[in-house]
Structure 1
């Protein structure tokens, strides 16, 4: 396949993802609202894409045209659409639809899925298959719009929507982990297709650089400074002007990086000892979050959350650091780092490694992954053991 053909396929995939995902983030809520009146029952059953028979109360003719169009089962509803079906499920039995599976081609295979993993009524995980290529998308910000994508199903992020406007801003075309296409000015077109970035040079090009108070403004100035340098280089400007612009670019970059790498430091080593060992089970289907201080499990805010990633390995969201392979019983307060990231992060975790969490109440917890089970395409269960730091100061 030639480079141009590959690029066109990628653009088609991205266009399809945007149409399916960003245009309809409330699809689960809409289906819920439109399938409340079941109507007259007609006996029957439906086979799912794995060949298993889904049994329930039966078929219903909701529009009274003499043809059954909805099948109501235990925990799911099947809607007949153009000789195919849309399957909706209530996976946590709270009376609300939290998953929808669609056969977009009519071949009997459910190739697209909308999943509400935190059960708040909004789609946050998407899955689709296009020409045999699986792709995924995740909403990390909670606004119902995908933020990161895995467009080739290899388990690695290769596309990013940096400003949550539903349009891809960064794309890794060759899947080597580095962005190849960039939309620095957020105009919806990759700058590489426009002959290079074309943004107004940064304000205050004379005098000292002042780092703004927000990350958004810092990023804007960083991009402007970068493009000011490239514009001067392309125009064969005087070397002195290029050096001045590059110096301002370095200042803007350092300012932007400071938001990405903010950390809190302690002046002295944390004291105390880790207490008894506790065990908990986290699952993306329920009990996604744990509050270490109380031991409470649920789906609300807490110190650690299991991520519904459509990959083979487990991933956790929290403010924690990997301190390496060791026994949980051997962890001491000296293992607690002196500096921490100021924000939560989501990362892969491994069995046998000890992680230390800086909890929301300022306390510390050491934990390990005992076991992991992938129970569906995007659902995971992990067993963790943890010890809370006692008398820490």
Structure 2
């Protein structure tokens, strides 16, 4: 019911088709680990050292992508490699690039899938299981330079709300979680403009003789709604209002009951979304603390908590309560970091004015991407503080291994 929905479905099909159809054993392969596989019997990749790039994937029949060692395995009868198994990750070659699957919390289950849909060497699409319950609950992609997001808030693995233009505001809703958008904000002002009240797959504004349920029709009840102070309680009220609305619609309730239910739903949704926008505000006070230098190694101490300087290793369970940023074990030539950071553009940490650091606009969901020398970045830490950092050096130590040295300074000291 929109270009963004069509794009999302295409991306889901891309990932699902290649991972579950072409390599139906991939989930078992990753959770079993490389030690439980027999080598394919061929010395794949020993004469190549380049990393995956545009057009380097051989569909599982060659190793021009540059992976070395016994990580390549195959369950097929042909003996050709189908998947590369590493520590906490697996890579599936495609005609254009690679599909990267990761076990970020090291519980033996895939919780992140990264796709390069254009073959330019950048992972532009991600499917993330943020609560590690076995279902994707966050989707993000970049199309023609525009970032888009989707979130599952009902826990069924289907996107419920979307931010299709990356402005930090939700602009599409799937009310009954059937995979079809039911409300759409076409002018991006925060209010739905198109509605599918009867869930028939067509916006009611495009049909004749329909009854519109505009917010405010049942003002007698909506005025009694009080937004709670916690996100958990706001979410509970939102789900209750949603369930009540769907039940009334399915029961062919009266117009008055529907108006009241819609008002309650709109109020609860607005309340919940006030807690769950795509960006957040961080605390900021004073100048910078001491500028420090640290090296993150994807094969060793790959993550850091900026406030204490404590490092965490790749063999430890990593959560955002314990670390603020970590090195990505991507099979690319450039360094990439995972965290909640923004790019301030070209500059130097030595010349950065603390007053120029924004206190809002930081992503609430983790972001991952390339960092470049000569640029300054700011991360919103788990405690709400801010840390500015810059790239000092980068060394690719393996097919998907990196050592990334950064300089950083905590805003407000420390």
TM-score calculated relative to the size of structure 2? 0.56
Give the whole-Å Cα distance in 2 for the aligned partners of 1:186 and 1:369.
Answer: 42
Q: Which residue of 2 aligns with 1:208?
A: 224
- Contact preservation (8 Å) 2:283, 2:386: no
- Contact preservation (8 Å) 1:319, 1:344: yes
Give the whole-Å Cα distance in 2 for the aligned partners of 1:389 and 1:158.
Answer: 30
Change (3 A) 1:332 1:131: closer
Give the whole-Å Cα distance in 2 for the aligned partners of 1:375 and 1:10.
Answer: 35
Give the whole-Å Cα distance in 1 for the aligned partners of 2:384 and 2:158.
Answer: 37
Change (3 A) 1:314 1:224: farther
Give the whole-Å Cα distance in 2 for the aligned partners of 1:330 and 1:310.
Answer: 33
**Deviation (angstroms), 1:386:** 1.3
Q: Deviations over 1:299-340 (max 9, x none)?
A: 433122245689998664445566675532245665676779
Change (3 A) 1:210 1:368: same
Q: Which residue of 1 aligns with 2:295?
A: 281
**Deviation (angstroms), 1:262:** 6.1
**Deviation (angstroms), 1:18:** 4.7
Choose which of 374, 377, 391 in structure 2 pairs with 1:369. Answer: 391
Give the whole-Å Cα distance in 1 for the aligned partners of 2:383 and 2:116.
Answer: 42
Give the whole-Å Cα distance in 1 for the aligned partners of 2:3 and 2:361.
Answer: 45
- Contact preservation (8 Å) 2:89, 2:100: no
Change (3 A) 1:116 1:378: farther
Give the whole-Å Cα distance in 2 for the aligned partners of 1:4 and 1:389.
Answer: 42
**Deviation (angstroms), 1:81:** 0.9
Change (3 A) 1:36 1:355: closer
Deviates more, 1:287-296 or 1:175-184: 175-184
Q: Deviations over 1:280-311 (max 9, x none)?
A: 23355654311222352534331222456899
Q: Which residue of 2 aligns with 1:253?
A: 270
SS at match of 2:294: strand
Q: Which residue of 2 aligns with 1:27?
A: 28
- Contact preservation (8 Å) 2:40, 2:80: no
Give the whole-Å Cα distance in 2 for the aligned partners of 1:129 and 1:46.
Answer: 23
Give the whole-Å Cα distance in 2 for the aligned partners of 1:263 and 1:373.
Answer: 34
TM-score calculated relative to the size of structure 1? 0.58
Give the whole-Å Cα distance in 1 for the aligned partners of 2:363 and 2:118.
Answer: 42
Give the whole-Å Cα distance in 1 for the aligned partners of 2:323 and 2:402.
Answer: 18
SS at match of 2:33: helix
Unaligned runs of 5+ residues in structure 2 are 46-60, 183-195, 205-211, 250-254
Unaligned runs of 5+ residues in structure 1 are 56-73, 232-236
Choose which of 187, 201, 216 in structure 2 pairs with 1:194. Answer: 201
- Contact preservation (8 Å) 1:209, 1:252: no
Q: Which residue of 1 aligns with 2:55?
A: none
Change (3 A) 1:185 1:365: same
**Deviation (angstroms), 1:76:** 1.7
Tell me whether 1:327 sits opposite 2:348 in the alignment. Answer: yes
SS at match of 2:12: helix
Give the whole-Å Cα distance in 1 for the aligned partners of 2:4 and 2:280.
Answer: 39
**Deviation (angstroms), 1:126:** 2.7
Q: Deviations over 1:240-275 (max 9, x none)?
A: x98997798468525521443665768xxx346522
Give the whole-Å Cα distance in 1 for the aligned partners of 2:411 and 2:7.
Answer: 52
Choose which of 131, 156, 170 in structure 2 pairs with 1:165. Answer: 156
Instruction: Count matched residues.
Output: 346
Structure 1 or 2: more strand by fraction: 1
Give the whole-Å Cα distance in 2 for the aligned partners of 1:323 and 1:317.
Answer: 16
Tell me whether 1:83 sits opposite 2:78 in the alignment. Answer: yes
Larger radius of gyration: 1
- Give the alignment's Cα RMSD to 1 decimal: 5.9
